[in-house]
Structures are given as C-alpha cells and as structure tokens.
Amino acid sequence: MIETDRLTRCYGPLTAVDALTLRAEPGQVLGLLGPNGAGKSTAMRMIAGFLAPTSGTARVCGHDVRKEPLAAKRALGYLPEGAPSYGEMTIREFLVFMMRVRGLDRDIAFRRFDEVVMRLELEDVLEQTIGTLSKGLRRRVGLAQAILHDPPVLMLDEPTDGLDPNQKHSVRMLIDAMARERTILISTHLLEEVHALCNRVAIIANGKLLADATPAELEARSRYHGAVSFSAAGSGVSREMLARIPSVASVEVDPLDGRVTVFPRHGQPILEEVQALLRTQNLEVSEIQLEQGRLDEVFRQITTQPRGAQS
C-alpha cells in the first residue's frame, strides 16, 4: 500500500509538489498522469526516500518514509526516471550487487534472479556491459532491479519510455501479471498506457492533484462520452434531421473524411434513436460507433484549466 499525506516539496520559491494526498491499495495500478514538469517524478522521489518532503509525509506498507525509511525502502521496488544504473557493470554483476545490498538470502536470491532474468528476457545479454546497451534494454534492466526482491509495492517512473511497441507490450504484460497482489504506482504521460494498465488515474499538474478516478470515470467527463459517430455516403442530408432529435445536443461533421459525430444532451443514450433515423433515411452506413469518451480531451481540459479552479 502507498499513501501520501499532504506530501509537499518546495524548491526555493517553486512548489513542485503541493499537498498531494493519494492512496493506492494492493491490486491497484495507480497511474500518475500529468504534463511534463507536473511533479510526478518529484513525488515519486519523495516516496522512494531520495528526496525529503518539505512537509507532509508518505507511507509504504504503513512505514513512514520519514520515521522508518529503511523499512519503507525494503518494501519498495523503484525504477527511477531514465532507469539509471552503473554503466561499467555487466547486467549480471549489477543485479547481483542489488541483491547483495538488499541482503537477500542466498537461496531465495538465486531463484529470484533466474525468474526475473527469464521474465524480462535478459538471458542472452547477461554478460553485456550496461553502458553499451540500448535504451530499451537498459529500461528492462532497471525493471529487473526493481522487482528482484519481490516487493509488495512497486513504483515505476515512466516504465515504457523509450521502448518499441513490442517491448512496451511485454512490459505492460509484466506489470499486469504482477498487479494482482501488489500495489503499483506508475507515472506516465502516455494516455494509451493509462488505458492499457491502470485501474485508477491521478491527474496532477503544477504539483496539485486535479483528479483521482478510474479511467472510465474520466472518460465519462469527456464531451465525447456517449456520442455516436458514423461514416455514411451522403450523410450531409441527415445532419439537420439528427439535430432535431430531442436528446441530441449537436452534430459535427469532420471536414476531412465526412465522419459525423452526434453529441448527446446531458449524457442521454442516443444510439438507438440515431440508428432508427439512419434506417428510415435509408442511408448506407459503412460503420457506426458509440464513443467511450476521449481521455486526451479530458486530460487537456483538466490540466489546462486556470490555476486555482478545482475539478
């Protein structure tokens, strides 16, 4: 479990993280989402014990990072931003060093080592020097290091940054597989990642928590939530008729591909009515879709609203 309690960090006059209160339970993958410079990494660094909070505190599995830093660190696996590691070491040497520092029992250590190496597909590159590795491989070494001691809490700062689509997929599978009994906190600025991984999202900007909800709840805030879009030949004719349906708020036509989007009034269901209308008009609909809402739009809306205004 990760809890932060009015966690605050100032750099001189700048408040990087401002009274952030979060809570993530076992089984949850909480995504910290925010524009660059929002304070995601700073918050994580405080939870990891690298930075001291200016005020407030954080707890990892109940261990206060200020009062019991070592117990908190023992329960935590952490992938820092950019996955730093010792460039002159080989992957094997690096992982062995990490196990030694963590004081893992020898038998457990060997078993975990093999397991982690297999999971992250590092078998063939174990003897390579980390300094010569590609960005993606280094990221995987960083992940290996973070899960080596089988921690109940995992904190990953931009875990898929710099990976190709295949590697992204395998890292997401890995996180997904580990999520069941663990608490996982990831930071990202990729919205697709939120969809693929997180069952809760905390949006922060300027160090403040602006939204804390499930991805579906966030999508529901979108203008597109419940909207119906379709492509049809000669759809221009039906535009006015669609707009006359009482539960429809507005109709937009994409000037490029002619795709029509029908927006509902106050989130009322409109799919059936739109479909019925299209049938009566005998329009040849090539494809029709009920929109879930667009996270990128919600993200923009939340993070660019004027300072002080809370969602």
Partner 1 sequence: MSGVTAIMRRELWSYFVTPVAYVFMVIFLVMAGVLTFYTGDFYDRGLADLQPFFDMHPWLYLVLVPAVTMSTWAEERASGTLELLFSLPVSISQAVLGKFLAAWAFIGICLVLTFPIWITVNYLGDPDNGVILAGYVGSWLMAGAFIAIGTCMSTATRSQIIAFILTAAVCFLLLLCGQPQVLDFFQDAVPPRVIGALGQLSIARHANAIARGVLDLRDLVYFFATIVAWLAASVVVLDLKRTR
Which residues are at the interface with partner 1 (CB under 8 A)?
Answer: 11, 45, 48-52, 54, 69-71, 73-74, 76, 78, 80-82, 84-89, 93, 97-98, 100-103, 145
**By CB neighbour count within 10 A (0-12 exposed, 13-18 middle, 19+ buried), where does 36 fall?**
exposed
- Give phi and psi for 225, each to the nearest 5: -65, 120
Nearer to partner 1, 162 or 281 (CB): 162
CA distances from 246 to 251, 259, 266, 283, 291 (A): 12, 21, 11, 21, 19
Give min distance, CB of 28 to partner 1, in A: 21
d(CA 139, CA 170): 12
* Strand, coil or helix: 221: coil
Give min distance, CB of 250 to partner 1, in A: 49
Give min distance, CB of 32 to partner 1, in A: 17
Give min distance, CB of 12 to partner 1, in A: 8
Nearer to partner 1, 81 or 217 (CB): 81
Q: How far apart are the first and last CA of the chain?
A: 26
- Give phi and psi for 294, each to the nearest 5: -115, 120
Nearer to partner 1, 89 or 288 (CB): 89
Q: Which residue has the tokens 């997180």?
A: 198
C-beta atoms surrounding 164 within 10 Å: 11
Nearer to partner 1, 19 or 71 (CB): 71
Give min distance, CB of 156 to partner 1, in A: 12
Q: What is the DSSP string of 136-197?
A: HHHHHHHHHHHHTT--SEEEEESTTTT--HHHHHHHHHHHHHHTTTSEEEEEES-HHHHHHH
Nearer to partner 1, 87 or 269 (CB): 87
Give min distance, CB of 252 to partner 1, in A: 47
Give min distance, CB of 137 to partner 1, in A: 17
Nearer to partner 1, 87 or 236 (CB): 87
Tokens coding 245: 């349906």
Which one, of 187, 210, 211, lies nearest residue 198 by Cα? 187
Give min distance, CB of 225 to partner 1, in A: 39
Nearer to partner 1, 108 or 276 (CB): 108
Q: Which residue has the tokens 């395998």?
A: 170
Nearer to partner 1, 50 or 110 (CB): 50
